């Protein structure tokens, strides 16, 4: 099977279930942003050589994002092809956030993205996550969807923020305080 099909040359793409839509539809924007986030997480993982626990967490998140992408690629009214994201995955993210945040110094200031390369990559992933969340919100304004997806993406942005801070702390690099 070749990677190119030529079926998208007219500006459309196929959803799961054979329906074709414009490549700039809210649904494609949403799952495309989730795919972009997944790629940024792959880059962050590549920079987390000394953080095996974070690598494992993020690889599980990448799997969850594939589930979310598959959910978003299913047209309204069609049966999902896999088990949808649920409250369980959201609670797991909250557990990770609490675990990581408990080990950090309390934050009293806004911080700028940066520090180590791994931390900066996590901050980039965080901002892409927030965009993906906005794209899903836009989609859900016009078509119904699994509300756990929005909650998951919201918590994931928080997780990436605390991970970025924790990576800096583990490397002995201070967060960059925003000063007016």
Residues with Cβ within 8 Å of 74's Cβ and at least 6 positions away in sequence, in order, are 15, 16, 17, 80, 81
Quick check: is 16 in a domain?
Answer: no
Of 67, 81, 3, residue with least CA distance to 35: 67
Question: What average pLDDT does range 9-17 have in this prediction?
Answer: 74
Q: At residue 1, does pLDDT exceed 80?
A: no
Q: At residue 12, does pLDDT exceed 90?
A: no
pTM: 0.92
Quick check: is 43 in a domain?
Answer: yes
Q: Summarize pLDDT for 130-140 with one digit per residue, the tens.
A: 999 999 999 99
pLDDT tier at 24, thresholds 50, 70, 90: confident
Quick check: is 12 in a domain?
Answer: no
Alpha-carbon gap, residue 12 to 89, rounded angstroms: 32
Of 106, 117, 122, residue with least CA distance to 163: 122
Quick check: is 18 in a domain?
Answer: no
CATH code of the domain covering residue 161: 1.20.1200.10
Quick check: is 73 in a domain?
Answer: yes
Quick check: is 9 in a domain?
Answer: no
How high is the pLDDT of residue 37? 98
E strands within the chain?
12-14, 20-22, 111-112, 176-177
Residues with Cβ within 8 Å of 169's Cβ and at least 6 positions away in sequence, in order, are 103, 104, 105
Q: Summarize pLDDT for 40-53 with one digit per residue, the tens.
A: 999 999 999 889 99
* Selected residue with higher pLDDT from 80 and 42: 42
Q: Are 170 and 124 in contact (CB under 8 A)?
A: no
How high is the pLDDT of residue 7? 65
Question: What average pLDDT does range 142-160 have in this prediction?
Answer: 97
Report helix, strand or coil for 9: coil
Alpha-carbon gap, residue 151 to 34, rounded angstroms: 14
How high is the pLDDT of residue 78? 78
Q: How buried is 129 (Cβ within 10 angstroms: 0-12 exposed, 13-18 middle, 19+ buried)?
A: buried
Quick check: is 15 in a domain?
Answer: no
The boundaries of the domain holding residue 41 are 23-177
pLDDT tier at 3, thresholds 50, 70, 90: confident
Alpha-carbon gap, residue 83 to 72, rounded angstroms: 13
Q: At residue 17, does pLDDT exceed 90?
A: no
Tally of domains within the chain: 1
Alpha-carbon gap, residue 45 to 61, rounded angstroms: 11
Quick check: is 87 in a domain?
Answer: yes
User: Which structure tokens are listed for 59?
Assistant: 């690889």
């Amino acid at each position: 099977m070749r990677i190119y099909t030529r079926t998208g040359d007219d500006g459309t793409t196929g959803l799961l279930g054979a329906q074709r839509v414009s490549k700039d539809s809210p649904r494609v924007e949403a799952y495309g942003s989730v795919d972009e986030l997944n790629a940024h997480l792959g880059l962050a993982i590549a920079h987390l050589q000394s953080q095996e626990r974070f690598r494992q967490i993020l690889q599980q998140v990448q799997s969850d994002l594939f589930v979310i992408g598959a959910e978003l690629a299913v047209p309204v009214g069609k049966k999902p092809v896999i088990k949808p994201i649920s409250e369980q995955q959201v609670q797991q993210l909250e557990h990770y956030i609490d675990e990581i945040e408990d080990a950090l110094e309390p934050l009293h200031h806004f911080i700028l993205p940066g520090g180590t390369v791994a931390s900066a990559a996590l901050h980039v992933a965080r901002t892409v996550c927030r965009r993906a969340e906005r794209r899903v919100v836009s989609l859900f304004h016009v078509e119904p969807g699994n509300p756990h997806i929005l909650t998951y993406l919201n918590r994931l942005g928080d997780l990436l923020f605390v991970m970025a801070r924790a990576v800096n702390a583990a490397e002995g690099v201070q967060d960059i305080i925003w000063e007016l």
